[in-house]
Amino acid sequence: MIDISSLHKKFGKLTVLDGLDLQIKKGGIFAILGPNGSGKTTLIKSILGMVIPNSGEIEIDGNSVLKQWDYRNQINYLPQIANFPANLRVNELISMVKNLRPKKAQDKDLIQLFSLEPFLDKKLGNLSGGTKQKVNIILTFMFDSDLIILDEPTTGLDPISLIHLKEIIQKEKEKGKTLLITTHIMSLVEEIADEIVFLLDGIIYFKGSVAELKQQTKQNDLEHAIANLMTKENV
């Protein structure tokens, strides 16, 4: 589904993506892992067209996405930080996003699932971080799209909401959707990811299953496997 070749991106003198090559097949959950500054967000924003690479190619379903925009109608994106207008009410924001996207929205069941009915008439600036994240999740999943990108989706969620989020992710996978997830929660990766992609200094050092990484690093848990990989690459 996604084919990235020789992707380079610099910010000034800092090289963030260094000739990155990545192929992601259609269908499944792919966790993009790496320490802060590894290039995860730049990679995601390049796929979304929010960052323009210096060179390289990004194709989705065989079509180049560089300098295009309409392909984004088939992507749902949950940003890491939900920067909503503070004086806008929750129901106003949901209505605005529904009007902006040329797709039918299914928001009522999600609102009920995350118990957001009491907050619909509240201003976004008065909401807690966890409640804002629930709004963020509803805006992401209320549209039907083939590719779903989730940047740190668990931030601020209570245990019940986290369970609901994992259920939604699994249901989307069962529909044949492709999900890219960045997270620092290794237990979530072990539980849901079909494959992991480990980035360091803009280069992919590992791509495969959790079991394959554990076998390669001779570690019993993912946290130690990732730490082992980082240590070896920095020796």
- The three-class DSSP label of residue 225 is helix
Judge whether 171 and 8 are in contact, CB under 8 Å.
no
What are the chain's domains? 2-234 (3.40.50.300)
Mean pLDDT score, 218-226: 92
pLDDT of residue 232: 56
CA distance 119 to 103: 24
Residue type for 130, please?
G
| Structure tokens that stand for 60 in this block | 């989705």
| Tens digits of residue pLDDT in 195-221 | 999 999 999 999 999 999 999 999 999
pLDDT of residue 73: 87
